[in-house]
Structure 1
Amino acid sequence: MAETFADLIAAEDVLLFVNAAVTATGQREFRSEAHAQRLSLDFLHEYVCVNYRPLYAATLALDINDHNAARIVETLLRTAGEASAEEKRAEGRLIARRLAILPPQRVYRLFRALRAARVNNRRTRAILRDWLAGRPDLGHDAVKYRRGLKTAARHAHLPLVTGGAGAAGSAGSAGKGNGAGEVGDFLFAPGRRTKYQHPLLDAHRRAHYEQGALYDLPFTVAEGFAARHAVGREDLAERLAPRMTRLERLRTQRSTGVGADLSAMPLTRLALYALSLPLDERVRRRAELTGALRTAARRTAGPYRGTWGRVAAVLDDSYSSSGSGERRRRPLGTALACHFLLESLAAPGAYTAWWTSGAVDALLVRPWGPTPLGTRILDALEHAPERLVIVSDGWDNAPPGLAGEVLRVWRSRLDREGRTTVVHLNPVYDTDGFDVRRLAPSVPTAGIRDAEDLPALVEIAQFAEGRTGMAELREYLDRRVGLFVDDDPFCYFPGEPGTAREGR
């Protein structure tokens, strides 16, 4: 009996950490300061790594945010001496796969953190070297992420040359045809060459004195030279529009007038963009914005589109959904994205949405008013849905505690057979509780950051009801790890004999 109880405690600890790793970013929230977030996350990472190291590493295969994914990688590499050879091998595969999907600027920031922490063992150098070998164009990285690449090369003692063998060849193989040592010279001896064969390296050299070279550079790099050549941001964006990324076009659309293909944008990012627009502009562009959101939702739903039956959603657009200066409107943006995704997942014509403010036009929602979750849950349950999804920070205050009581009575008195599946998704981390705030013990709760993760989070929320032991959780994590690692045929334990990445 004691062992079973210990398993339940362990499962709860790991799930608590997963919720934090999905939602917390160490930034200020509506009800908590940044330093409190960081202290809370510091404790959780250390506690789970020390007590459940294999499961701590396995969370890299889940839909956690980039901040915590990089933090897990850093922690595993800093404490490599505490892991067995088998654990290191499993961790190496997970780390290699996770780094491959992280944004490059985040990975370079991680390398800087490892250098500051003086972590420079053989395993770390192998991971760094092989990640650099997998970059599609090291010359591009040298221009766009100059400081990060320079720090990484110094820390791992990597000679950045091309055409070589071994570690040096791996580090510079991405720049084949650029001339031996071009990237190294660009980073460490910029005055050595009067011309570079790599077009971006040479454009960066010429941009110091030639205005035309700006238009051969990435947009963010060209912005740094624009003032020197008296080039306006609008003119620069117009000329560089074909070279700009989707997010750069979206970010600069209003200030520069350069159009962005909204239908290709990620769902949550698109919802946040829509909420950043004034209400009159949302009304004027209603067809464009709604069409793009529904297209993104259908793309996200994929094969699950229309398979969830009758779905009701209770969505929080109270004042607290405004987030903070660092996470502006993030909770509301997540709720809006979930609204369109749930609409796509539900059977045709079988979806109803209830906003806490009483709003009926999803595109015009804004952070406003109290949080009458209990009343809205009653409205939603009156339609007897097969699934009820609640997206809220859990601060039920009109009146306080009504939502929890409604859900308790519904589950214990009115729906003992479980005809309606209820899941609470919370986009805000609660620093005081080291978890996301819950509405009722009988309702599974999971943290959420991006609506794209909603189907997977609904699946993992079943483990948060307090009745699932470690065996079931381990089985689930093992399955996710297998799918995550096997998705990349080149993912392996760095430094393991006979596993070099050939042909990548």
Structure 2
Amino acid sequence: MNAAITSTGQREFHSGAGEQSLSLDFLHRYLLGNYRDLYAATLALDVNDHNAVLIALNLLATTAEADPDQRRAEGRLIARRLALLPPPRVYGLFRELRRAKVNNRRTRAIMRDWLAARPDLAFDAVKYRAAVKDAVRHAHLRPGGELGPFLFTPHRPAAYTTPILETWRRAHYEQAALYKLPYTVAEGFAAKHRIARAAFLERIAPRLTRLERLRLQESARTLGADAVRADLATMPLTRLASYVLALSPDDRVHRRAELTAALRTAARRSAGDQAGRWGAVVAVLDDSFSSYGSGHKRRRPLAVALACHFLLEALASEYTPLWLSGRSDALLARPYGATPLGERILDGLDRRPERLLIVSDGWDNSPPGLAGEVLRIWRTRLDPRHTCAVVHLNPVYDAADFDVRRLAPTVPTAGIRDAENLVALVELAQFAEGRTGLFELRAHLARRIEEFLREDDA
């Protein structure tokens, strides 16, 4: 679970992409070969999209190794997970299945049902034409209406009756038509027609998705395309934290009220009915230099810490944040300095909170090992009855240990990718502590699977 939540096979601060991919691949193969039912069950948990695709791919590629009951259960889990994934991820999975020559009956049925459930397959055919064509060909499907000609002989018809297909055809020679297409498609036509970037962004703004607006907002502002404005209050919490950290310190100060209000709104939305129910909470938040992450995952660990800060503020009735740098202004957080986790944990425990949460990559180095000793003595000598719940949330996968890096055996550690999953991960962390066994874990997974599939039936 820790690996499937945190790792995407990309470079991290302490390990390269090759190490990450090799380590993750080993874990997938090990779980698939030894605990196939538990491996499939992780699709019902909050794994990241990269690992959800890998799990589905591995299960479909080894259909012959599953018994009928397993195939039935896996089929429902895969179908439900694919319905929740972004379409590009699913089309990427279908293309990978084609490259791997996985074409059993279950695979074709899952591809057929997913394509049939798409709300507008003509839209997909325009936006992801090559991927849709590969999926149709691999699943041996015959798309009805004008989709077949569009996918395989797109320029042959003189005109289409399907509006979006006709708009795509006209966009080849008519500039006005491209502004009725999805942004990623229209961008290519804009380059073909040599349309100025600022003018293009201004006119395509109504067609942008929520996340496209967020991604393009700053570059559009520089070009003077004021129509591209994102409603920050509707953005996912961790994504919004990443956006804030990408801004310059001067911009953050200038827009402090707007950014803080947006982060708190997103945090309250994520907290839901748990808001204000967690009692006294202290958070130790890692903003050391390693929270920069890597060129592939720039400032990702710090963004998770910042998002957790605002979420815990919403969950707690009394909240104290302790940044490793000693910073008191969370909005100006930046990756800098060593990792004095031990000192900050001592400061947190000194406040006698009901919960102490540590959000860090676990590389305690100032001095090395102090955090582990503090937690060991606290749990075994000073608080053996667990009056203070301590949980370590780690946003970085440690390829060498096939897990996220832990601070102490006496404290549960869970991987975290998005702060929105914090509440569920704190619950799951009890299994990492070793006070519960495989029976309890299976029971927990059975409940999660039932809830996961019930949402699909609803």
Q: Is TM > 0.5 for Structure 1 vs Structure 2?
A: yes
Tell me, yes or no, if structure 1 residue 187 matches structure 2 residue 151. Answer: yes
Contact 1:357–1:368 at 8 Å: present in 2 too?
yes
Letter in 1 for 2:422: L
Q: Indicate the RMSD between aligned Cα atoms, in angstroms.
A: 0.8
Contact 1:223–1:233 at 8 Å: present in 2 too?
no
Tell me, yes or no, if structure 1 residue 229 matches structure 2 residue 193. Answer: yes
| Correspondence 1:130-279 to 2 at 5 A | 130-161=113-144, 180=145, 182-257=146-221, 258-279=228-249
Counterpart for residue 463 of structure 1: 431
Letter in 1 for 2:195: V
What is the aligned counterpart of 2:398 among 430, 455, 469?
430
TM-aligned CA deviation for residue 467 of structure 1: 2.9
Q: Structure 2 CA distance, aligned partners of 1:465 and 1:368?
A: 31
Contact 1:234–1:255 at 8 Å: present in 2 too?
no
Counterpart for residue 309 of structure 2: 339
For structure 2, which runs of at least 5 residues remain unmatched after alignment? 222-227
* 1:119 alignment partner, SS class: coil
Q: Structure 1 CA distance, aligned partners of 2:210 and 2:444?
A: 35
What do the CA deviations read for 1:49-82 (whole angstroms, capped 9, x no partner)? 0100001000000000000000000000000000
Letter in 1 for 2:92: R
Counterpart for residue 299 of structure 1: 269
Tell me, yes or no, if structure 1 residue 392 matches structure 2 residue 392. Answer: no
Contact 1:219–1:237 at 8 Å: present in 2 too?
no
Q: Structure 1 CA distance, aligned partners of 2:196 and 2:64?
A: 53
Q: Structure 1 CA distance, aligned partners of 2:197 and 2:321?
A: 41
Q: Structure 1 CA distance, aligned partners of 2:269 and 2:200?
A: 32
Q: Structure 2 CA distance, aligned partners of 1:102 and 1:152?
A: 16
Q: Structure 2 CA distance, aligned partners of 1:228 and 1:71?
A: 36
Counterpart for residue 445 of structure 2: 477
Q: Structure 2 CA distance, aligned partners of 1:232 and 1:245?
A: 21
* 2:386 alignment partner, SS class: coil
TM-aligned CA deviation for residue 184 of structure 1: 1.2
* 1:25 alignment partner, SS class: coil
Contact 1:74–1:114 at 8 Å: present in 2 too?
yes
Tell me, yes or no, if structure 1 residue 351 matches structure 2 residue 334. Answer: no
Contact 1:44–1:434 at 8 Å: present in 2 too?
yes
* 1:389 alignment partner, SS class: strand
The alignment of Structure 1 onto Structure 2 pairs a total of residues equal to 452
Moved over 4 A (4+): none
Counterpart for residue 111 of structure 2: 128
Q: Structure 1 CA distance, aligned partners of 2:55 and 2:316?
A: 35
Letter in 1 for 2:193: H
What do the CA deviations read for 1:139-197 (whole angstroms, capped 9, x no partner)? 11001111110110111111111xxxxxxxxxxxxxxxxxx2x1111110112211112
Matched residues, percent identical?
68
Letter in 2 for 1:341: L
* 1:487 alignment partner, SS class: helix
* 2:192 alignment partner, SS class: coil
Tell me, yes or no, if structure 1 residue 115 matches structure 2 residue 98. Answer: yes
Q: Structure 2 CA distance, aligned partners of 1:202 and 1:304?
A: 49
TM-score, scaled relative to structure 2: 0.98
Higher mean alpha-carbon deviation, 382-391 vs 227-236, is at 227-236
TM-aligned CA deviation for residue 232 of structure 1: 2.1
Counterpart for residue 416 of structure 1: 384
TM-aligned CA deviation for residue 109 of structure 1: 0.2
TM-aligned CA deviation for residue 24 of structure 1: 0.5
Letter in 2 for 1:371: T
Counterpart for residue 21 of structure 1: 4
Tell me, yes or no, if structure 1 residue 94 matches structure 2 residue 58. Answer: no
* 1:488 alignment partner, SS class: helix
* 2:456 alignment partner, SS class: coil
Letter in 2 for 1:376: R
Tell me, yes or no, if structure 1 residue 323 matches structure 2 residue 306. Answer: no
Contact 1:27–1:34 at 8 Å: present in 2 too?
yes
